[in-house]
Structure 1
Amino acid sequence: MRRNSTLICAPIMAEAVGQMLVQMKKAKELGADLAEVRVDFLKNFSPRNDLEVLIKQGPLPTLITYRPKWEGGQYDGDENKRQEALKLAMELGADFIDIELKVGLPTVAQEFYNFIQGNKPEKVKIIVSSHNYECTPSIEDIGDLAARILATGADIVKVATTALDITDNARMFHTIVHSQVPIIGLVMGERGLMSRVLAPKYGAFLTFGSIEPGVVSAPGQPTIKDLLDLYNLRQIGADTKVHGVIGNPIGHSKSPHLYNAAFKSVGFNGIYLPLLVDNVANYISTYSSPDFVGYSYTIPHKEDGLRCCDEVDPIAKEIGAISCMIRRPVDGKLIGYNVDYLGAIAAIEEALRATNGVPASSSPLAGKLFVVIGAGGAGKALAYGAYEKGARVIVANRTYGKAKELATKVGGQAITLDELKDFHPEERMILANTTSVGMKPRIDDTPLPKEALKHYSLVFDAIYTPKLTRLLREAQEAGTTIVYGTEMFINQAFVQFKRFTGLPAPKQLIRDVLARNT
């Protein structure tokens, strides 16, 4: 049962009518409600013949768009011919047509209304659209634009802008919520993804989903499959609670796969998004609604996240970084936690016990030399966790000052990354990489040459995309026990899920989803 009326519209872009019909069939199979037929993509477009076939034989309701170059489309010809084709589409039974506002006196939309002289079939709805490929204007300017569109006689208002920052989405949400007429409000680009996924939460008329990844009619468009299967779009309502992972970059994150599937499995009314954030403080102050309730933090924002908390858990304060933030329902205060070290240390201990047979009562890390690469949020978490378990901690970092600062906190020693290559005061040390060296897409990088790995009995890499990093592969070849970053990720996911929902984590489901997505 769906909880919203927002439609999923699939852009249909092909050079031949036959290909378009195939795409429309695919869109319907994937679950789209509507097809936006981009006739400006057709080679040798013959309006009467082609529109008749597309509208009459297409398996989905049709939105006919004939986008000119001056509005980001493919058509570069006579304006009267374009408007005649759109008029013909109405007469042939299209469900919707899109005409651009194109600010001027009169606007293109007004010219079109004059051209059709009120002869519009009852069934057809006219969408008047405006696309801004440079930025997202102020709330006032977007509101004025929507009012200008409405004044043309539009049945549906469409405003598409470009996200320069993730906070730009908030201005679009404000416009959608306050609209008295059906409205499509989208923010293009990767930083605008939340405008597309949360469209049903704010009551937008439709959102666009592509048939295939990368084959998009505008930047940042998700696939129909992701909208339905990953983000459970049909289940999003006005009261859906928003969660996400705050990072930069963020496209690689598997967290949305895990949490959305887990939320769905327990019937929790929540959504979890990848949030490409440039400035944490701006994000937090912009999205202060009680519905924005929980975040995971990843590189490089774990320390900035801590500075935005109203209260910080003592362990996170000691580490100097958070990995999880919760908005407390009673007073709206933001509470920061660090659960990274719990996940990583537990996974490392488990692997050591399996190979060394250490009794469960004591930690196999006690007395071991534990080398942490990196002194950022995750580095601090691992150094602190190892220190708590009785290990002797060495911090290796590109800048010695940061390594020294962290090492002092955990009674350890600091060295530079250059020194690490030849650092082996003893054998059978433990190594934990917490930097992004080796992360997708730079999978051929490694923080330490292979010959240095023989001095370690165990190597852990916090990276989990790819699962088997070059560091881990070479450690394995050197005969060393390895621990995947996925183990840290899974263990901390169990803890975060409980914090987000108040419910026990569906552990096996989370493991299965991660296995399918790595």
Structure 2
Amino acid sequence: MRTKICLVLTEPSLKEDLALVEQYRQFIDMVELRADCLLPEERIHFRHFPEMAKLPCILTVRRKSDGGRFLEGEGSRTTIFAQGLAFADTDPKKNFAYIDLEEDLELPSIEEAARAFGTKIIRSVHNMNGPLTGIPQMVKRLRRTKDEIAKIAFMPRNLSDVTQLFREAKKCYGEEYTLLAMGPYGLPSRILASHLGSCITYVLAPSKSGQENSLGQLDPVSINEIYHIRQNTSETKIFGVTGNPLSATLSPQIHNSGYVRQHIDAVYVPLRAESIEEAISFAEETDIPGLSVTFPFKETVLPNLDQISAEAGEIGACNTIIKTEGAWQGYNTDAKGFERALLGFLNRKDLKKLRVSIIGAGGVARAVAHAVKEMKGKACIFNRTPEKARDLARLYNFKWAVLDAGSRSILESYSDVIIQTTNVGMSPQPDEDPIDFYAFSGSEAVYDVIYHPEKTRMLRRAEHAGCRISNGYSMLQYQAYLQYKLFTGIDYENN
């Protein structure tokens, strides 16, 4: 049975909730009316919401302790459930299709009324403070009768908690349930609901303020148009990208659009992790054969690999890992991707006679330095930790300097091309500038590997001075195309 997409409605009025239903109707299968979010005067009329929505509806009155907003007593909650089931219509489409009752809520009369009119009971457990274990036993306990659906939701502390959820879900075969991990670590449980065996996955409309929701729910458009959830089954092959914080990656759009265009049954998902070891454990539990690796794991991944390519070994950083015949192999596509992106930006065949500044000495900087050497450029590595700048510079016989105002004159002498490779300028500190001490003359070509925001503070300053500028989206594209071929064996740019 295909996982159903349920839009959670949390507006204060029924009119606003209905507007969201109409806006996202093509992307959803059902809705959850969160009566705990409605204004008191709106609760009088919600009984007719299913008829107005013209979609299967879940009635939920969530307590604050379970992640909701309801602060009144259990007597008031019981009354709301009773109002939702009252005056049931002979046409089941005009009634609530489901009611969500927490495990500790005992309402025999409500449950009896629900069954009498074909309203299914979702029996739920929520833990906002950490993981839940013993999932198979909990699912069986929650389903007091075979027509009930078990729902278990928790806030994981890390990706390892989500890995355990996927492991335990394999023991729930034959049961009807929804399992989900909340927050940014839990995103895979929403996208890969079919792999978990969940009958429902929940989505939320984007916040009017533009802020991310704390529970990590995707919006209806993204889960369909980026992750193509309606095409995913338990047999769909999984790929992914891992890093931390991984809050602005566009890699899923690139990879997933390729799978759709080339009719490959696969999905590419973000895996936020505290360590690369956590990400590899998740990959092994869910049979992921390939991962993109981004900040801050490009160097720490190396000891976890069985083999690495010559280029990854020379660079000392890896951004792509593939599992073949039980062994993890590492590659670096950043260098080739950057080379293509930079030469396209400069409209040149190489970097001969150009003096290049490389800002940073981390995993991306290592790939950039390798590419600059291959393109016959002369460079200076700038880093706040001088030892890291020195060690990277020595690999390619480059100059090096401390990244501070004292090195301004050196930066000026290597300013034909300035390449920024650090994460300075990204959220949550978009107003930072790694070379705020430097005054652009307007003659520099400035490339920042950051692509979100589209223009960092450094790029805005450079543009204002008259410099040619580019963000890192082109590098992201080209290195992703190379990863895609490693994952699938197919050229991304082939029609």
Give the 3-state SS of the residue equivalent to 2:299 in structure 1.
helix
Aligned partner of 1:164 in structure 2 is 157
Aligned partner of 1:196 in structure 2 is 190
Aligned partner of 1:295 in structure 2 is 291
Which residue among 57, 61, 69 is the counterpart of 1:66?
A: 61
Give the conservation status (yes or no) of the 8 Å contact 1:9–1:206.
yes
Task: Measure, in 2, the Cα distance between the counterparts of 1:424 and 1:63.
Answer: 61
Structure 1 residues 78-477: aligned runs within 5 Å: 78-90=73-85, 92=88, 93-102=95-104, 108=105, 111-113=106-108, 116=111, 120-121=115-116, 123-138=118-133, 140=134, 142-151=135-144, 155-179=148-172, 180-213=174-207, 219-289=215-285, 291-328=287-324, 331-354=325-348, 360=349, 363=350, 365-418=351-404, 419-423=406-410, 426=413, 429-449=416-436, 451-454=438-441, 457-477=444-464
Residues 216, 203 of structure 1: CA spacing in aligned structure 2 closer, same or farther, 3 A cutoff?
farther
Give the 3-state SS of the residue equivalent to 1:372 in structure 2.
strand
Task: Measure, in 2, the Cα distance between the counterparts of 1:63 and 1:424.
Answer: 61
Aligned partner of 2:30 in structure 1 is 34
Give the conservation status (yes or no) of the 8 Å contact 2:445–2:469.
yes
State the 1:373 CA deviation: 1.0
Task: Measure, in 1, the Cα distance between the counterparts of 2:45 and 2:213.
Answer: 20
State the 1:246 CA deviation: 1.3
- 15-24 vs 376-385, greater mean Cα deviation: 15-24
State the 1:143 CA deviation: 3.0
Task: Measure, in 2, the Cα distance between the counterparts of 1:480 and 1:115.
Answer: 69
Residues 99, 191 of structure 1: CA spacing in aligned structure 2 closer, same or farther, 3 A cutoff?
same
For residues 162-201 of structure 1, the C-alpha deviation after alignment (integer angstroms, 9 at most, x for no partner) is: 0211222222223433223210101111111111110022
Give the conservation status (yes or no) of the 8 Å contact 2:308–2:330.
yes
Give the conservation status (yes or no) of the 8 Å contact 1:427–1:455.
no
Aligned partner of 1:52 in structure 2 is 47
TM-score by length of 2: 0.90
State the 1:428 CA deviation: 5.5
State the 1:301 CA deviation: 1.3
Task: Measure, in 2, the Cα distance between the counterparts of 1:484 and 1:217.
Answer: 28
Task: Measure, in 1, the Cα distance between the counterparts of 2:11 and 2:486.
Answer: 47
**Letter of the structure 2 residue corresponding to residue 443 of structure 1:** P
Runs of 4+ in 1 over 6 A off after TM superposition: 214-218
Task: Measure, in 1, the Cα distance between the counterparts of 2:183 and 2:121.
Answer: 26
Task: Measure, in 2, the Cα distance between the counterparts of 1:420 and 1:25.
Answer: 58
- 427-436 vs 307-316, greater mean Cα deviation: 427-436
Task: Measure, in 2, the Cα distance between the counterparts of 1:217 and 1:12.
Answer: 13
Give the conservation status (yes or no) of the 8 Å contact 1:27–1:35.
no
For residues 278-322 of structure 1, the C-alpha deviation after alignment (integer angstroms, 9 at most, x for no partner) is: 111122123304731222222211111222222111111111101
Which residue among 17, 22, 33 is the counterpart of 2:19?
A: 22
Give the conservation status (yes or no) of the 8 Å contact 1:251–1:274.
no
Task: Measure, in 2, the Cα distance between the counterparts of 1:392 and 1:46.
Answer: 69
Task: Measure, in 2, the Cα distance between the counterparts of 1:217 and 1:383.
Answer: 39
For residues 223-243 of structure 1, the C-alpha deviation after alignment (integer angstroms, 9 at most, x for no partner) is: 111111111000111121212
Give the conservation status (yes or no) of the 8 Å contact 1:194–1:273.
yes
Structure 1: give runs of 5+ residues left out of the alignment: 103-107, 355-359, 509-518
Residues 181, 88 of structure 1: CA spacing in aligned structure 2 closer, same or farther, 3 A cutoff?
farther
Confirm whether residue 490 of structure 1 aligns to residue 477 of structure 2.
Answer: yes
- 291-300 vs 125-134, greater mean Cα deviation: 291-300
- 226-235 vs 489-498, greater mean Cα deviation: 489-498
Task: Measure, in 2, the Cα distance between the counterparts of 1:345 and 1:66.
Answer: 55
TM-score by length of 1: 0.86
For residues 32-59 of structure 1, the C-alpha deviation after alignment (integer angstroms, 9 at most, x for no partner) is: 1111111122223586x52432233331
State the 1:504 CA deviation: 1.3
Give the conservation status (yes or no) of the 8 Å contact 2:34–2:60.
yes
Give the conservation status (yes or no) of the 8 Å contact 2:359–2:419.
yes
For residues 136-156 of structure 1, the C-alpha deviation after alignment (integer angstroms, 9 at most, x for no partner) is: 133x3x333323212477610
Residues 311, 425 of structure 1: CA spacing in aligned structure 2 closer, same or farther, 3 A cutoff?
same
Give the 3-state SS of the residue equivalent to 1:453 in structure 2.
coil
Aligned partner of 1:513 in structure 2 is none
Residues 487, 153 of structure 1: CA spacing in aligned structure 2 closer, same or farther, 3 A cutoff?
closer
| CA-based RMSD | 2.7
State the 1:416 CA deviation: 0.3
Task: Measure, in 2, the Cα distance between the counterparts of 1:311 and 1:292.
Answer: 17
Give the conservation status (yes or no) of the 8 Å contact 2:355–2:414.
no
Give the conservation status (yes or no) of the 8 Å contact 2:85–2:113.
no
**Letter of the structure 2 residue corresponding to residue 17 of structure 1:** L
Task: Measure, in 2, the Cα distance between the counterparts of 1:118 and 1:19.
Answer: 29
Give the conservation status (yes or no) of the 8 Å contact 1:344–1:382.
yes
How many corresponding residue pairs? Answer: 484
Give the conservation status (yes or no) of the 8 Å contact 2:408–2:437.
no
Task: Measure, in 2, the Cα distance between the counterparts of 1:192 and 1:312.
Answer: 30
